[in-house]
Structure formats: structure tokens, C-alpha cells
Amino acid sequence: MKSEKKIVIVGNGLAAWLSAAMISYEIKEKKANHRVCIVESKKTLPVGVGEGSIPSLVPVLERLGIDLTKINATYKLGIEYTNWYSEAASPFNKWYHTFSFPGWMEENLSAMINYDNFFSKIEKASDEEKSKSLLDNAYALHFDTHCLTQELKKKVLLSGYCDIIPGTVNKVNLSEEGIQSINLDNETVLKGDYYLDCTGFNRVLISQFDPKFTDYSNVLLCNSALAFVQEPKEEKITFTVATALSSGWKWEIPTTEKTGHGYVYSSEFISEDEATKELLASVGVSENKSLNIKKFAWEPKILERPFIKNCFAIGLSSGFLEPMEALSIDITRNLIQNFLSHLFFHRNNDSLNRKISSYAKEAVDYLAAHYQLSKRSESPFWRYYSSNVKASPGMIKKISDCKHRYLKRHYPWSEPELHHRKDFPWNTDNIFRPHSWIVMLAGMNADR
């Protein structure tokens, strides 16, 4: 039998419990002689304002046996982008990033140059047609973050492969190999073979190595968000709604128990008070209404090396770009997947760090293109994007390839059915494939 490895996870949010659940599952599947220990601090709790995902999370939750009704989940077919093209009225001010082409749209695939029918058919589709597409195509979920965290915790407790230690780290002891042990505030000393830092922006463990970041603030200007929840809407919404505002954009995320609203903005172009007023006005809520509005701030940057020696930064501790396209949860899944590759297949840190860095760069190009392709000019925020932010060589190449290789002839590839893969279902390639770029270019009138 192979030697036992002890994996110490520090954190109490979604990243920590998803890590513990996925690792525990693989230990059981592979009959490995490993043990997980999670240091649970009561000082931090998940936000729980509602979150979206992409299709790669669905097979993970299926494999872990998560009951979707327990996490207040609703189906998500994609993202509806509103008012991104222009502040003036335009037919291009509503477009959809679908995760695949639903079966009831297949006749559109032979006419790739004209996407007008594609978007209008989504708009006019009945609930029955949309529901049918869920059975045949990739889909994702909207869910309650707090509820999912609690369900993952239950699965971890039942697995028998994880010990939970209450406490807060107050000292990290280093050695040549990385972290030797950690001291908790209750005088407990924990030793492990691997340490997963799931402490968010506090970066309690990975910060001990003085890590370097790749800063993307020159192309991703948004660095703050305001969020609150309301009662759920009666109408069925199967898309995350992303609406452009004066200094960023607003999300609307429906779960079965509530609807989450948030304003992602740049604090360089609008104050918190002004952003609050604009958010409430866009939702149609009185400023005098008592709301528990939460504020978040971040720097759009990613660790150059999230895996250093025996320490692995998972979730927000590895960095954050912005909420668009539900990337945060997928980056977390991707990091856990790569740690599993290290644990079970002995992939070295350097190769994994290069892979993660490439993933982040691909994501940044796609996110930044939403702003850079916009024709909005009514505010300093949008004018700054049009005048001062330059497209990266990678973005230019992707746009050129999509225009000249894909939009000029028949649809030449098949979308993978990620949710049907059973071999290693949290394994995926580059997140934004040609399909994603094509629908964005067509939606923003940049495909010609």
C-alpha cells in the first residue's frame, strides 16, 4: 500500500469544502491511503448572495451526490447580455452567451454569417423548448452559496476520510520543503504533507512564500461590487442577466428562494454612494428601503504560481479577476483538479502552474473583450476603455480566427458534452472555445 499523505485544508468557505469533498471522493474511488484535515474557523462565513456557474460544475455536483433542491438551484442555459453594445437603442443591445447550440436551433448552424435568427429564436423560445434543451445540451446552475457549502460539509462528514479541527491559524512554520506545520489559536499543532490555502484574500498560508502576482488591472478596470438579495421572481429565468451600467455592469441571479442583485464597478470612476443609487434605481428599489447591501473589493490579479512547494492556493487565495461569466467557481474547480493531478498522478508544480497561468490569460482576453468591443461612450468608464485599453495579441488573434475561419463557413466542430463525461468529469480544456467567441462577436456586432 502506498504511503499515507495528509492533506491539511485551511478555510471555511466554498473553496475549502469543495476541495475537501472532491479530494475525499477521489480517495474513496482510488482506495488511496490518504487523509484530509480541515481547519475550520468560525470567523469567516460564505457570502451567500446567490452564485452562477458554468457546465463544468454540474458533473462535479452529480458525482458528489449533491441534491439540487437543497442548494436552491435553478437551471442556467447561459448569460443574457443587455445594453452592452450601446447606451442608445440598438438591436445588438441584447444577446446571449449560450453554453451550446440547443437541438431546437440546429437549422441555424448552416448559416453562421447571420446570427440575427439565432438570438431572436432564443428570445422567443417557450419554456418547454428551453426545458427540452436542458436534456440534450450543456447547462449550468444558479445556486445559494451558503446552502451548497453546507451540503458539501455534510458529504465530507459522511465520507469518513476527513477530520475537522476548529481553530484559527496564528503561526506557519516553514522548512526547505515548504510548510512544516501550523499552529492554531487553541495551541493545536498540525503537521501535513500538503497544505491547501482556502482563506480567501487573507492568504494565510501562501503569503508565507512572498508570491508574485500577474496584475490585470490595466485591462479589467472593475474592482468592487455591491450585492443584495430580494424575494424570488415569479417568472422563470433560465439565464444570468448581465446589464451594462455607467461604470460596469449589474447581475441578476435567480435561485428558488431569492434573487441576487449586484453591481460590479470601478471605484476609480464612481463612488460607493453613487453606485448604490444606480444599482437600486436599475432594480426599481427605493433608496429608503432597508436592504442588507454587502460590499466587496478586490484587485484583479492572479498568482503567478498558486502551487509553491507543498502549499496550494485554492479559490480566492489564488486571485480574482471579476464576477463576469462565473469564473471564480470554475477557477476553484480547476485548481482542485490540478491538485488532484499532483496528488494522484504526480504532476509537478511547474507544469501545473503553467497550465493554470494559461487558463487565466485565456479568461482575461474573453472578459476584457466584452468591454473593449462596446460602443458605449456616455461615461468616463466606457470612454476610458475605448481610448486607453488596448487589445492583447491573444485577443486580436482569437477575434481574427473567429471572423475568418469560423464565421465564413459551416460550423466545423462539435461541442463536448461535459456533463455526460464519466471518466474524470472535472477535467476540461480551455474555458472559452470558439463557440463562446463567436456568439460574443455576433452579439456585439463585431463579426463582420
Question: In which residue are the cell numbers 502549499 written?
Answer: 311
Q: Which long-range contacts (CB under 8 A, 24 or more apart) does 188-191 make?
A: 190/8, 190/37, 190/39, 190/165, 191/6
Q: From CA 312, how far away is CA 8, in angstroms rounded?
A: 10
Question: In which residue are the cell numbers 455536483 written?
Answer: 61
- The full DSSP string for 114-151 is --HHHHHHHHH--HHHHHHHHHHS--EEEE-HHHHHHH
| Whether domain 1-217+233-255+298-448 has CATH 3.30.450.20 | no
Per-residue pLDDT of the chain (448 residues; tens, 9 = 90+): 457 899 999 999 999 999 999 999 999 999 999 999 999 987 665 555 568 899 999 999 999 999 999 999 988 988 999 999 999 888 888 888 988 765 544 444 434 434 556 666 666 666 666 665 655 667 899 999 999 999 999 999 999 999 999 999 999 999 999 999 999 999 999 999 999 999 999 999 999 999 999 999 999 999 999 999 988 877 767 889 999 999 999 999 988 888 999 999 999 999 999 999 999 999 998 776 678 899 999 999 999 999 999 999 999 999 999 999 999 999 999 999 999 999 999 889 999 999 999 899 999 999 999 999 999 999 999 999 999 999 999 899 888 877 776 554 333 333 433 233 333 333 344 678 777 888 888 888 886 5
How many angstroms separate the Cα of 156 from the Cα of each of 161, 188, 252?
7, 22, 31
- 143-160: per-residue pLDDT in tens? 999 999 999 999 999 999
What HEC string does 53-77 produce? CCCCHHHHHHHHCCCHHHHCCEEEC
Bridge partner list, 240: 79
Bridge partner list, 172: 182
DSSP 448: -
The gap between the terminal CA atoms of the chain, to the nearest Å, is: 60
DSSP 402: I
Cα 179–chain centre separation: 28
- The per-residue pLDDT for 410 is 36
Record the pTM. 0.89
Closest CA to 263 of 274, 255, 206: 274
Decide: 259 and 231 in contact? Cβ < 8 Å: yes
Q: From CA 413, how far away is CA 434, in angstroms rounded?
A: 9
Cα 196–chain centre separation: 19
Q: Interior CA angle at 181 toward 180 and 183, to 5°? A: 150
Q: From CA 428, how far away is CA 448, in angstroms rounded?
A: 30
- The full DSSP string for 306-338 is SEETTEEE-GGGGEE--SGGGHHHHHHHHHHHH
Decide: 239 and 125 in contact? Cβ < 8 Å: no
Q: From CA 149, how far away is CA 373, in angstroms rounded?
A: 36
Q: From CA 54, how far away is CA 71, in angstroms rounded?
A: 16
Query: 327-345 vs 57-64: helix axis angle to the nearest 10?
Result: 60
DSSP 4: P
Q: Interior CA angle at 339 toward 334 and 344, to 5°? A: 125
- In which region does residue 286 sit, left (phi positive, over 0), alpha (psi from -120 to 50) or beta (all else)? beta
Cα 430–chain centre separation: 14
